[in-house]
Structure 1
Amino acid sequence: MTAAHIDTPKVDTPKVDTPKVEDGAAMWRIARDSVTLDLNSSYSYLLWCRDFAATSAVARRADGEPVGFITGYVRPESPQTLVVWQVAVDREHRGRGLAGTLLEDLAAKVADTHGVDRIETTITPENTASERLFTSYAERRGASVSREVLFDGELFPDGAHQPEVLYRIGPIAA
């Protein structure tokens, strides 16, 4: 008896790129479909692509369509700190390390262009995927991680919200 040949669909490896305003709608859709992220207005994703493109990244399929993104900004009061706002990957591209690739590429780019050596992000207690993403990044970079509640859930005016826990990562080794 011979083993049956199974054709597995070939999935292209997305390429990391700088977002363009035209990517805002796809980023909004990816965030909406993630179910985990707080969804911002579609307008905010367009602005993000315009005003914070240098501190954000998208992952594109071969046809140019975004399949993941990471948004961030350099914190004005702490210019050595990259604040990561959101990370999301399309369902069909999850489980392949794409979020980690986006984080690695963005952190390296912003370190080179802005001298950043620290990362901050907030994570809700039930978001274990984000906890793993950022703590494993810190381990790979030999950086410490501190955690503290930044915003209690009751501060949010739109109903029940988990607390947002601030993760501070750094200093980051090159």
Structure 2
Amino acid sequence: MTAAQADLQPQFLEMPEGLRIDHPSVADGAELWRIARDSETLDVNSSYSYLLWCRDFAGTSVVGRGPDGEPVGFITGYLRPDRPRTLLVWQVAVDQQHRGKGLAAALLDGLTARVSAERGLIGLETTITPGNTASERLFTSFAKRHSVPLEREVLFPAGVFPKGAEHDPEVLYRMGPFDF
């Protein structure tokens, strides 16, 4: 490989010191629910849904573990049924004491590298509500770091959510195609 080719290779971030990446297990479900709840930005799903997610979508999700093995952050995702090589990232959350250390970016890099190796990932999607600057930065920097196009469009306007359930629009961020 030439130096120019090496410059084109994706840059995968390392996990912060003392943390490791892992598959989630059902035993992690309650902690993932707590981390999501404490984030104060995510739509918190039922605790039951996090248990199911850890059971049924562990292959397309990751958890960051602290030195004691307890979850300190996570990403949940799934492969789109109509696009089985496109990973939709459902939620990203990092425990308060571990924010600002690059954990979310390292988890996202680790997840996409694993899913790509196992399934031949070609695209990544997520939805972000306007004003969620942390998520906007995470996915914008991901696209830049991996030199892939990033498209944005409103997927669900505010008006499609149930009456009485105040919700901002959800903007679809679509990245790819990947070559890793």
Task: With the length of structure 1 as denominator, give the TM-score of the two structures.
Answer: 0.92
The two structures, once aligned, show a CA RMSD in angstroms of 1.1
For the pair 1:78 / 2:70, whether they are aligned, the reply is no
1:1-150 matched pairs, under 5 angstroms: 13-150=18-155
Q: Give, in whole Å, the separation in 2 of the partners of 1:12 and 1:141.
A: 23
2:177 alignment partner in structure 1: 171
Unaligned runs of 5+ in 2: 1-15
Query: What displacement does 1:13 show?
Result: 2.3
Could you give the per-residue CA deviations for residues 41-80 of structure 1, whole angstroms, max 9, x where no partner exists? 0000000000000000000011111000000001110111
Q: Are the counterparts in 2 of residues 154 and 160 from structure 1 also a CA contact under 8 Å?
A: no
Q: Percent identity?
A: 63
Which one has more relative contact order, counting CA pairs under 8 Å at least 6 apart?
A: 2
CA gap of 1:68–1:151, structure 2 versus 1, over 3 A, is same
Q: Give, in whole Å, the separation in 2 of the partners of 1:170 and 1:13.
A: 31
The letter for the 1-side match of 2:178 is: I
Between 1:24-33 and 1:12-21, the stretch displaced more is 12-21
Q: Give, in whole Å, the separation in 1 of the partners of 2:54 and 2:152.
A: 29
Q: Give, in whole Å, the separation in 2 of the partners of 1:95 and 1:62.
A: 18
The letter for the 1-side match of 2:55 is: R
Q: Give, in whole Å, the separation in 2 of the partners of 1:12 and 1:22.
A: 24
Q: Secondary structure at the match of 2:77?
A: strand
Q: Secondary structure at the match of 1:79?
A: strand
Q: Are the counterparts in 2 of residues 12 and 61 from structure 1 also a CA contact under 8 Å?
A: no
Q: Give, in whole Å, the separation in 1 of the partners of 2:17 and 2:134.
A: 23
Unaligned runs of 5+ in 1: 1-10
Q: Give, in whole Å, the separation in 2 of the partners of 1:150 and 1:144.
A: 18
Task: With the length of structure 2 as denominator, give the TM-score of the two structures.
Answer: 0.89
Q: Are the counterparts in 2 of residues 138 and 172 from structure 1 also a CA contact under 8 Å?
A: no
Q: Are the counterparts in 2 of residues 142 and 173 from structure 1 also a CA contact under 8 Å?
A: no
Could you give the per-residue CA deviations for residues 75-126 of structure 1, whole angstroms, max 9, x where no partner exists? 1101110000000000000000000000000000000111111100000011
Query: What displacement does 1:159 show?
Result: 1.8
Q: Give, in whole Å, the separation in 1 of the partners of 2:67 and 2:21.
A: 11
Q: Give, in whole Å, the separation in 1 of the partners of 2:78 and 2:72.
A: 21
- Larger Cα Rg: Structure 1 or Structure 2? 1
Count of residues in correspondence between the two structures: 164
Q: Are the counterparts in 2 of residues 12 and 62 from structure 1 also a CA contact under 8 Å?
A: no
Q: Give, in whole Å, the separation in 2 of the partners of 1:146 and 1:95.
A: 26
